[in-house]
Structure 1
Amino acid sequence: MSLRELLSGVVPDKLSAALAVLLCSPARIVSVDGAWVMDDTPPLAENARRLPLAHDLETVGYLETTAKDEARVRAVTIIMESFMRSGARYFMASEMHIEVVKSDYEELQRKHAALAESEARYKALAENLEARVKEQVHTIASAHRQLYQAEKLASVGQLAAGVAHEINNPIGFIRSNLGTAQSYVQKFQSVAEPVRSSGNAALVSAWQAADLDFVLEDFPSLLQESVAGADRVARIVSDLKGISSVDKTEDEIVNLNDSIRSACNVAARQINDHADLELALGELPPLRCKAGHLGQVFLNLLLNAAQAMHKRGKIRIQSRADNEQIVILFSDTGCGIQPEVLPRIFDPFFTTRDVGSGIGLGLTVSRDIITAHGGSIEVSSELNVGTTFTIHLPIKQENR
């Protein structure tokens, strides 16, 4: 150990002052090589004495003094060597303490680093678990929603198919009987002129009393209107049967323009009460799809457009083939959708209607149906101007 280390616990100024008092003469402590001087005391006179200071039988420094009293000098030397022995124990204890503290601190740092790494790992696992739970919740909610809609559509489909079947039979009878009645009227018309020109006064008088000329003139138009009405009912029944095919699991090859027209016919009354309908349907290739499901989408969009009218407006439907896609646009001049609401309109159970007017699944299910066909549906809207839904469907349908 060096002299500096041995005296590290001593206050230099106080030690220098104490040596001067004890020796009654100036004194200083220097290292063996003279490189270190305690308290930076200046060199003494040339006649100063140098007494070795030993520690563990090794000279580590010198006591320089001009004192003449040998006993005092020897006593001071002994005191200094005692200081150095105490200093050595202090220095070693201090170094050991520092080493222990340093070792404990490094161990604490290692434990802290391991703990931080573990915490980061568990945080990542927790975030991953949260994401997976959220994904599973979304999947389950989507499955429940689709199951609910499938059950609802299947029930509606069965009801509509039953109603269509029950209506179709009597409509067939009515249409047939109206055709027969038209042929009967033609026969009556063929005998009208012979009766009027028969010269039989009683027969002519009875003919005129019954006003059969007016009857024969008016009855054909009544029958024609009845035939047109029966044909319209037959078309609605046919369209209703198409819409009611939502419970079919197999795909069909259809022209979507026909599905659009069928949806328009089914929703004709609601549309006519609120808006004028304009169709701009381009030529489309046949598409393999679940026609009943897509018909339900078209019907949902038509009814939403009609209900969005605060005053009489216009609904325009366009279709076209664009490269490998079929593009269909449903536009209306209704009230539009508020910007803050627009991002949520496809969310399950979200609705802007009054309580009891809807449960908020129409657009969600429509999006799910379009997505199931590999397509997409987007919406753009301007408040108080109108809304446009754009559907893209790939012409080549992958296996679903």
Structure 2
Amino acid sequence: MINYILNAGDHDGFRALEWKQLLLPGPVTLHPDVQLSQALPMINHRGTEFRELMRQVISKLRKIYGCDCDIALLTASGTGAIEAMLINFLAPNEKLLVVQTGVFSDRMAKIAKTLGMEVELIEPKEGEGITPEELDSVMKRVKPDAVGVVANETSTGVAHKNLEELAKVVHSNDAIILVDAVSYLGGHELHMDSMDLDAVASATQKALMSPPGLSFVAYRERAAQRLQEVPRRSVYWDFLSYKKFYDEKHETPATPAVSTMFALNKALDIILEIGLSNWINRHRAFAEALNFAIERSGGKVYPHPNWRSNTIVVPYVPEGMTPAMVKNLAKEKWGLEIGSGGWKIKEKTVRIGTMGWYGRNVVYRAIRMIVDIYGGEKSVAEEAFDYYLSLL
């Protein structure tokens, strides 16, 4: 039985119950109200109560996405949303250019190949994302129908915060931009309408502080036009069916994960009450404080500073230690569960998520953990925590 202890921290007026805090790339520790909302009585997914729930969830997701557009709500992981996005907006034999920054860009490429698309890869410099100039040069040579970008590469901590500039390049080359924002949405600035993004996929279990099980794809005019032109090749992933069911009934075509929808609805309420910009900044402050503590303690962070994520921190492990040793120390001594490394740097790094629900005491504990692992002075922890507070 899980041994819960009272959180001594107080963040934004809430007190939370926690045990070993999850600071993973996902899933994440939930706010108690989000946790409890999963226990609400089951409802008829073809009834009036569900239709109101569905309407609320889509309305709130549009605020998070910054769009007045269609959103397909899927009972699937983030990978399911990426496959659904590709199968609806690209036909077999069409060409997808994928920006290769880690495991999940590789997965996007694998899905596209499996669906019969032609795939080209472009790998930016080590620890960086793609610049508009680099993308334009490759697009003029490759001439793709679409460009796939992982906005925040969960395996390496490389974040593309230049999506608006990339979208301009993509559109000037007569293509559409398809964005994996699974660990980006809710943790970084994103406004689909003003950034002119065509389709953006995300999921519940990251910066939206909800349980795993639901994902979504928001899409705008260019993608909607392609939706009419691309041959239907799936029943479960057919966005025309999702649109019809939502527009006519506020329902989903197949049975959705209703309990996860309850949780997502509550999480979105909490995020919007705190304020989306404050919620995003909460992630940024935690990540920057951890990066500060790592580097001041003599450690090294994988992505170059201009490409660092708000939601994932990827430090190299200290000399003489393995990722498994660092993970075990974090869990057994500090009560913090962090993730293994990924991609080409798997054996050299760990991953620390800054998503989910936590109080300031968790932030301080994570900073102390970093300083302890890297052998830094205790004063570094105090400086890093003061830095964190200054960023809020």
Bigger relative contact order (CA 8 A; separation at least 6) = 2
The verdict on a shared fold, with TM-score over 0.5 as the criterion, is no
TM-score scaled by structure 2?
Answer: 0.21
Q: Please, what TM-score do these two structures have when normalized by structure 1? A: 0.21
The structure having more radius of gyration, on CA atoms, is 1
Structure whose residues are more often helix by fraction: 1
